[in-house]
Amino acid sequence: MTGRTKKIYWLLFLLLLLGLTAADIFLNIPFLIHIVTPLLFAGILSLIRLWIGPGPADRIVAFNLLGFVIAGFCALMAIYSSYGFFMDIAIAWLLQSFVTTLAFAKYLEGKNFGE
């Protein structure tokens, strides 16, 4: 990726962020949208990084971030539906994401899982 392409990407993301901030300030948006919008934005960006990441380490970090985004949605569902089992799902998902990240990191280092 050239320097010019990176600058264009940064400019596009800055414009998107400014647009979301302006919509947040000038429009009367419910509180739930304030929470869901950053989660969706982080999820989309992590899916993009997972798809086109330049290296395996970037894809591992994107996968870990995606696990946190999914856990965030589970926490929101637990708050708004008053069902506690969504928090159990979020904790189990985060544990699975953590273990998977550790396994991928060991694989990238070239070590056995017992070391």
pLDDT digits (tens, 9 = 90+) for 18-54: 887 777 667 666 767 778 888 888 999 899 888 887 8
pLDDT at residue 100 greater than cutoff 70:
yes
Look-up of token digits 């330049």? 54
**89 vs 11, which has greater pLDDT?**
89
Reported confidence tier of residue 89, pLDDT bands at 50, 70, 90: very high
**Which pLDDT band holds residue 94 (cuts at 50, 70, 90)?**
very high
Q: Count CA within 13 A, CB hemisphere, residue 104.
A: 16
For 74, counting Cβ atoms within 10 Å of its Cβ (0-12 exposed, 13-18 middle, 19+ buried), the class is buried
Report which of 91, 98, 90, 22 is spatially closest to residue 65, judged by C-alpha positions. 98
Q: Which of 8, 73, 76 is nearest to 43 (CA)?
A: 73
Categorize the per-residue pLDDT at 68 as very low, low, confident or very high, splitting at 50, 70 and 90: very high
Residue 77 in contact with residue 86, Cβ under 8 Å? Answer: yes
